[in-house]
Structure 1
């Protein structure tokens, strides 16, 4: 039975792990990576975990504040966006729809950092408008039929 490497995300046999790597769940190949790269991968996984959590806590928000000052541009950008999300929308339930309604300017930032997929909300406003127009059209037809009866 092997182990899971938290850096490369693969299951590998015991022989691929050294003593410290066993404890830290880092394989020998990933141990050879520069510490800066390993930290970057860890921080990105940590932040995507915050996004998936049911609640972004105050401790998570303070951690995101620390990570937003990190030297890597990608890590800092994602941390700053998630910090805004965590402050305004800490609960996961309907988080994206609430962001779209209350802070639509945040959607492009979430897309550019890769937190959400691009175009996941591109047709949302048009779809809502089309649905509303369809409802109004049905209502207009119904009210016209009622006027013709009378």
Structure 2
């Protein structure tokens, strides 16, 4: 959340503030690609167009983007629909669920159910449920 003054006329349409516009194009693209990948996990259905986009992102020059895209691409091929996705992964594909957990992509799947203060926590292992 930024004040309206933080946006120039050029970046306001695409929701990019002045500070982020100063970043190198490759870094800005990597950030946008990561947001796309997390968005795919949040969708109720990962469509064939999304799968094609994930295949492109899996070939990315940025290693982090490529690895995240490869994980989400594998999830899309196993369970393209969001309903009971985590249950299916826990039952049949534990290694894939573990990788989702390690990368934080599992939170993208359930971010509408978690309170916002949970994302600011850094001591996930130490909290008791």
* 1:89 equivalent in alignment to 2:79: yes
> What stretches of structure 1 of length at least 5 have no aligned partner?
1-9, 120-150
With the length of structure 2 as denominator, give the TM-score of the two structures. 0.78
Deviation at 1:113, TM superposition (A): 1.9
Partner residue, 1:107: 97
Deviation sequence 1:42-91 (CA, Å, 0-9, x none): 11111111001000001101100000010111111110010010011000
Aligned residues: 109
Partner residue, 1:71: 61
Moved over 4 A (4+): none
Q: Which structure 2 residues correspond to residues 1-150 of structure 1 after superposition, within 5 A?
A: 10-13=1-4, 15-116=5-106
> What stretches of structure 2 of length at least 5 have no aligned partner?
108-123
Q: Identify the structure with bigger relative contact order (alpha carbons < 8 Å, sequence gap 6+).
A: 2
With the length of structure 1 as denominator, give the TM-score of the two structures. 0.67
| Whole-Å separation in 1 of the counterparts to 2:83 and 2:30 | 28
RMSD: 1.6
